[in-house]
């Protein structure tokens, strides 16, 4: 069976499976896995596989994806989302022409470096394990396809709102993700009087696309740094968010 589940912010995919068990949708000892990882800060469609469909993991992982994204410019983290050590980066104004020119870079075939904190393995060790150990490794490149970027909208966010939101989301994360140090760094970030440009858009893409990498690259194309503020996976293949089981 393939069960489309709505993974909440803060949970890992394995924790989402346990939430599914707690709802009685899976037996206590029933084997289950997932296809297509979602980071703790992301939410949305996660495919949980059971029974004979456990053998379809690679097939399901290869399905196209769709996301609703919000990016914040002028803030950098080492994870390219809120679950990372933050730093203020100078940035001027965001113009419509500059944004549209930057977005054109990503439409179609797209090659980029995977995030520093990711589950991609290098020399038998995940990138996030290398990063936490301080290893000097080169992030692998990955080529995917961006089918469409639509419904682009520019806004802004007050620094104090962004900081509060970051701390609240980080507090939802269990496990060992440097939460204590990251939360402290966000609380100490002096941004109360700042306003940061935000960019929201919908994106459809091939499997293997890291939206955190795209946010980082978009910031670089705009002459600054950027991170993912909000990421909702709205579709995996034919499985849409409105058909998900809430856990």
Specify the pairing of strand 2-7 against strand 245-246: parallel
Mark out the alpha helices in 84-155 (DSSP H runs). 96-104, 127-133
pLDDT for 92 equals 82
Residues 123 and 107: their CA atoms lie apart, in Å, by 31
Residues 164 and 161: their CA atoms lie apart, in Å, by 5
Residues 205 and 172: their CA atoms lie apart, in Å, by 28
pLDDT for 150 equals 97
Residues 92 and 74: their CA atoms lie apart, in Å, by 9
pLDDT for 198 equals 97
Residues contacting residue 50 through CB under 8 Å, at least 6 positions apart: 1, 3, 26, 30, 31, 32
Residues 43 and 232: their CA atoms lie apart, in Å, by 5
- What are the per-10-residue average pLDDT scores of the chain (247 residues)? 96 95 90 95 98 96 98 97 96 89 95 94 93 91 97 95 97 94 96 93 97 98 96 98 94
pLDDT for 86 equals 97
Angle at 182 between CA 187 and CA 126, to 5 degrees: 165
Nearest Cα to Cα of residue 73 among 53, 54, 93, 57: 93
- Where do the domains of the chain lie? 2-62+238-246, 65-236
Q: Which two tokens stand for residue 98?
A: 């500059």
Per the document, the length of the chain is 247
pLDDT for 192 equals 87
CATH of domain 65-236: 3.30.2350.10
Q: Which two tokens stand for residue 188?
A: 């100490």
Give the N- to C-terminal CA distance of the chain in Å, as an integer: 17
């Amino acid at each position: 069976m393939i069960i489309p589940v709505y993974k909440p912010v803060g949970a890992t995919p394995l924790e989402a499976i346990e939430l599914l068990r707690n709802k009685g949708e899976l037996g206590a000892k029933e084997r289950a896995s997932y296809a297509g990882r979602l980071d703790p800060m992301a939410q949305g469609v996660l495919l949980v596989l059971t029974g004979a469909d456990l053998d379809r993991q690679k097939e399901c992982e290869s399905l196209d994806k769709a996301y609703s994204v919000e990016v914040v410019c002028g803030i950098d983290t080492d994870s390219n989302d809120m679950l990372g050590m933050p730093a203020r980066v100078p940035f001027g104004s965001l113009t419509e022409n500059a944004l549209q020119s930057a977005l054109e870079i990503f439409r179609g075939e797209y090659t980029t470096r995977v995030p520093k904190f990711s589950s991609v393995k290098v020399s038998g060790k995940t990138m996030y394990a290398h990063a936490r150990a301080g290893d000097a490794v080169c992030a692998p490149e990955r080529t995917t396809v961006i089918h469409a970027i639509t419904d682009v909208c520019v806004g802004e966010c007050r620094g104090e709102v962004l900081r509060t939101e970051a701390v609240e989301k980080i507090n939802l994360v269990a496990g060992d993700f440097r939460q204590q140090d990251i939360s402290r760094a966000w609380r100490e970030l002096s941004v109360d009087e700042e306003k940061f440009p935000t960019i929201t858009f919908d994106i459809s893409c091939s499997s293997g696309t890291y939206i955190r990498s795209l946010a980082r690259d978009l910031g670089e194309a705009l002459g600054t740094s950027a991170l993912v503020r909000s990421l909702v996976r709205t579709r995996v293949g034919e499985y849409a968010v409105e058909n998900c089981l809430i856990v």
